[in-house]
Copies of this chain bind each other. A is one copy, B any other.
Amino acid sequence: MRYELYYWTGIQGRGEFVRLALEDAGAPYTDVAREQGDQAIMPFLRGQRPGAQPFAPPFLRAGRQVIAQTANILAFLAPRHGLVPASAASQSYALQLQLTITDIVAEAHDTHHPIAVDKYYEEQRPAARQRAASFCGERMPKFLGYFEHILERNDGRHALGRRHSYVDLSLFQLMAGLEYAFPRTMKGLRRRTTHLRALSERVADRPRVAAYLASPRRLAFNEDGIFRHYPELDEA
């Protein structure tokens, strides 16, 4: 089956977590909006297509099924492509970790949009500076400390079990995004993120991931996405 991924063009965004899983699995997929434009997304959001109605992209079409919400898409894909252990308990734990990644990703987004998602960053700069100070000073150390500990209490190399999973892919993407957006803060956290950084390097070296990252399909981070580099927000 060929999957159809729907996500806004021009940014990595939340779609990138799904894209990494599809690429790492070698699963055939069409990145629909990149071929047809963002307007291909709209009929689904309006409920004019069969299957579940998404609130927002990313969503995935798999046969007649439409699946939305990043973590939910990953929970759907992973058992089909060996990206999570087979046991229900492992899949529940993987989803728990992924939802915690969802939480820090939302907070990373809100550093540049603390007031309103429908207004520009430039319209909410003073609040953004304050929120970013809290994110860099309190939240990043807390979240990354948690994930570092999760790796440590497991085998030091994987988020769960003794095998690569979609959570490892998402941790790679989280670290890449935070490195781009908050290089100074991440430098300050280097000694407290040794397992996370080593895991990120191993993920980046996986053959299909490496091929993907070197391809034009991997967009660069930019200031339209979730992880944005505004130096004034990275002063922790």
Contact = CB atoms under 8 A, between A and B. Distances in A.
B118 A131 contact: no
A127 B123 CA distance: 12
Given A72-B99, A92-B76, A134 B119 contact: yes
Interface residues of A, number: 42
B116 A55 contact: no
B134 A118 contact: yes
Contact of A96 (B68, B114, B116): B68
Instruction: Count identical subunits in the complex.
Output: 2
A149 B53 contact: yes
Interface string A53-84: 11100000000010111011001100000000
Interface string A202-217: 0000000000000000
A69 B100 contact: yes
Given A69-B99, A72-B92, A95-B72, A134 B149 contact: no
Interface string A88-116: 01001101100110010010001000111
Interface in A205-234: none
A81 to B, nearest CB: 15
B55 A143 contact: yes
Interface in A118-150: 118-119, 124, 127, 130-131, 133-134, 138-139, 143, 146, 149-150
Interface of A: 47, 52-55, 65, 67-69, 71-72, 75-76, 89, 92-93, 95-96, 99-100, 103, 106, 110, 114-119, 124, 127, 130-131, 133-134, 138-139, 143, 146, 149-150, 153
13 contacts: A52-B93, A53-B146, A53-B153, A55-B103, A68-B100, A103-B106, A114-B127, A114-B131, A115-B130, A115-B134, A117-B138, A119-B134, A124-B130
Given A53-B146, A69-B95, 6 more contacts: A52-B96, A65-B89, A67-B96, A69-B100, A75-B95, A116-B131
